[in-house]
Amino acid sequence: MDERPFAGHFERVSEERFLKDTKELFPYWTFGAGDVILPRRATAGSAGYDFFIPFDLVLRPGQSAVVPTGIRAVINDGWFLMLVPRSGLGTRYRMRLDNTAGIIDSDYSEAENEGHIMVKITNESLDDAVMSIEKGKAFVQGIFIPYGITSDDNALSRRKGGFGSTDKKE
């Protein structure tokens, strides 16, 4: 029996939320919430949960794209989820997250956008390599990490907005 504490779980955002976010980013593409796969670990020893891209994506060197994952993480207090590129994509294309590491706070799932995890990635290849990620392939991984607070911490507000909204609290 695994004795590690549970940090949270993954859920799909509503179909309406997924379609709204994808249509805003990709108005001419057609795909649906049925293309969303819940993150999972590849092996019992894996630290990261693989996130799967819900559509085909091609990025030339220097190009970026925001990927709506269709996923939200419901995270227990005292934990956060860190997103980082899959090592193979980082090695082959110098793929990076535009904010270097995505930090998903435990109250993000309460946001107005349902806590929809959106990942902005860039192909930074120095070899002019075109990065092609097929629908259903893992492209980033999420690692649950515990965190501490200071003895004089007095943060009481809760998140209201979505992506990038820690300065927009109730």
Is 152:104 a contact under the CB 8 Å cutoff? Answer: no
Match 């108005």 to its residue by tokens. 27
The total of other beta-carbon atoms located within 10 Å of residue 24's CB is 10
Name the CATH superfamily, with its identifier, for domain 8-146: Deoxyuridine triphosphatase (dUTPase) (2.70.40.10)
Residues 6 or more apart whose CB falls under 8 angstroms from that of 49 comprise 10, 39, 40, 41, 141, 142, 143, 144
What 8-state DSSP symbol labels residue 127? S
Q: Tell me which amino acid residue 166 is.
A: T
**Sign of torsion over alpha carbons 124, 129, 134, 140:** negative
* Predicted pLDDT of residue 155: 86
**Sequential pLDDT tens for the chain (170 residues):** 678 889 999 999 999 999 999 888 887 777 777 789 999 999 999 999 999 999 999 999 999 999 999 999 999 999 999 999 998 998 899 999 998 899 999 999 999 999 999 999 999 999 999 999 999 999 999 999 999 999 999 988 776 665 555 554 44
Is 54:7 a contact under the CB 8 Å cutoff? Answer: no
Task: Determine the Cα–Cα distance for residues 4 and 8; give it in Å rounded to an integer.
Answer: 12
Task: Determine the Cα–Cα distance for residues 56 and 134; give it in Å rounded to an integer.
Answer: 5
* Predicted pLDDT of residue 67: 95
> ∠ CA 120-51-32 to the nearest 5 degrees?
80
* Predicted pLDDT of residue 160: 65
